[in-house]
Amino acid sequence: MLLLALWQVLTVVGGYDRFILPGPLDVWEQFSIVATDGRLLRHSLVTISEVIPGLLIGFLVATPLGYLLARSPLAERLLSPYLIASQAIPVIAIAPLLTIWVRSTYWSRVLVAVLVVFFPILINVIAGLRSVPSELYELMQSLRATRWQIFRQLEAPAAMPILLAGLKVGATLSVIGALVGEFVQPKSQGLGFLLVTARYQFKTDLVFVVLLTLSAIALSMYGLVALAERWLLRWKRAT
Amino acid sequence: MTSLATQTRDTTFLCAEGVSHVYPDGVQAIADVSLSLAPGSFTALVGPSGVGKSTLLRILGGLLKPSSGAVSLRSSPPHLSPDPVGIVFQRDNLMPWRTAYDNVCLPLEVQGVRAPERVQSLLELVGLDGFAHSYPSQLSGGMAQRVALARALVHRPELLLLDEPFGALDALTRERMGQELMRIWHAMPVTVFMVTHSITEAVRLADEVLVMTGYPGRITEHVVVNLPRPRELSLEATTAFQKLVMDIRAAIEEAGV
């Protein structure tokens, strides 16, 4: 509240034009307009429909690959140089290429989101699996547990806290990924498209509305993972 | 209290012959170790740090394949289809996401056995039936180690391996846990092999104490502990007890480590 008040005071005292720094009241006014005419919801739904598959596919690809890298030194030696090198190229630089290769506007955007969330999840899967104490492996071995039992009863739950931490990072990054995808492929849909058009039209208050909506989506994604975490790691709350 | 000399083949539960182990990095941990454990006996292995005591324990439990030599259990072929063993480490190694009860359940789950009454009675045996639904983070070090002990016994293994099981506990808790272990061992038909740094603990608990010294480690002394059971803590004040402790200490120091 204090922040909002300061912001409003700043715009009035500074006498900035609405297209340079709109006040909270201007933003609110613009929000009411786009919220009531359905534009905000329409574009938000498009972005969300890219964010969620982006995160899910990223998770589904990164988790088995992370497992392979953590469990097989050979796979790690072969693959990790490429994986790390691929991270040296900014996604924003590959994104235009992807739009050429992937015909579908929708899937090229999802793919950018996948690329962004992939790496932090992968790293956390590996870190999570490496955190399993070797003596617990020996314990499972002493019980003559099968590979699957070791995965199910030891590795999966033991790696879960670190995996979920990676998923939280991935959840917020997935929104950035979808937005980058929309920037390079601004075909009349999505919050990224709305942002670009608002900027061209000097509707700075609309830019603010979009930015706030994006952070709301990112926060909700984070919140969803945090909720899952609360349930999955309920043993941590026992004191 | 059987000694090696009086044991015949059929009173041997576990037999290791000429076991050596070289780690992949070329370090030889143990050399030419032979030993046999009588069924239901309690054997302690003492020796300085780093002589390969834990390596030997892992080989006996089938967790590590020896570079040469063989370990055989009863008459079964060496490690063809090894039976599960019970194992307790220095750290309790409980799974923090499982309650005490569920931790004890783990071996049964792995074997696909449902036997809640066994879990319950073991928790009672280690005196923790009131803490079945506590998580490891809610237990003290001694309690957590008791849960680990219950977990190591719930699937009724014939061999219980203890790797410095009380090493992380304070002296008083350690003594009390030793007495508990005695009580539990009397209640169950299990052969115990324990690695420890404490000579007094070894003498107080075991039928036979093996001394391992040198790099790579070899078994340089077998000491049969002919003290009557049940053994109370007051036993430590007797000359017989102290003489055994002195003998073992001398055997370790003789090796110059």
pLDDT digit string (tens) for B34-64?
Answer: 898 888 899 999 988 888 889 999 998 888 8
Sheet containing B159-163: give its strands across.
B86-88, B159-163, B191-196, B42-46, B208-213, B218-224
In the Cβ-directed half-sphere of B222, how many Cα atoms lie within 13 Å?
14
Q: Is any Cβ of chain B less than 8 angstroms from the Cβ of A139?
A: yes
User: CB distance A138–B135 less than 8 Å?
Assistant: no
pLDDT tens track, chain A, 239 positions: 888 888 888 888 887 777 788 888 888 888 998 888 988 999 999 999 999 999 999 999 999 999 999 988 888 888 888 888 888 888 888 888 888 888 888 898 999 999 999 999 999 999 999 999 999 999 998 888 999 999 999 999 999 999 999 999 999 999 999 998 888 876 778 898 999 888 888 888 899 999 999 999 999 999 999 999 999 998 888 76
Q: Which residues constitute the domain of residue B103?
A: 94-156
Chain B residues whose C-beta sits inside 8 Å of any chain A C-beta? 58, 61-63, 82-87, 89, 91, 93, 95-99, 106-107, 109-111, 134-135, 137-138, 155, 161
Q: Give A186's contacts (C-beta < 8 A, 6+ positions apart).
A: A192, A193, A196, A197
CATH class of A44-231: mainly alpha
Q: Does B182 reside within a domain?
A: no
Q: Does B180 reside within a domain?
A: no
User: How many contiguous H segments (helices) and E segments (strands) does chain A have?
Assistant: 11, 0
Best interface-test mutation with A: which of B64, B88, B95, B158 has the largest number of A CBs within 10 A?
B95
**B161 neighbourhood in chain A, CB within 8 Å:** 142
Q: Is any Cβ of chain B less than 8 angstroms from the Cβ of A160?
A: yes
**A153 neighbourhood in chain B, CB within 8 Å:** 106, 109-110
ipTM value for the complex: 0.83
Q: Does B126 reside within a domain?
A: yes
Q: Does B144 reside within a domain?
A: yes
Total domains, chain B? 1
Q: Does B163 reside within a domain?
A: no
User: CB distance B97–A160 less than 8 Å?
Assistant: yes
User: CB distance B85–A142 less than 8 Å?
Assistant: yes
Q: Does B102 reside within a domain?
A: yes
| Radius of gyration from C-alpha coordinates of chain B | 18
* DSSP per-residue string spanning B150-165: HHHHTT--SEEEEEST
- pTM, whole model, 2 decimals? 0.81
User: CB distance B96–A235 less than 8 Å?
Assistant: yes
Measure in Å the smallest separation between the Cα of A200 and chain B Cα atoms.
53
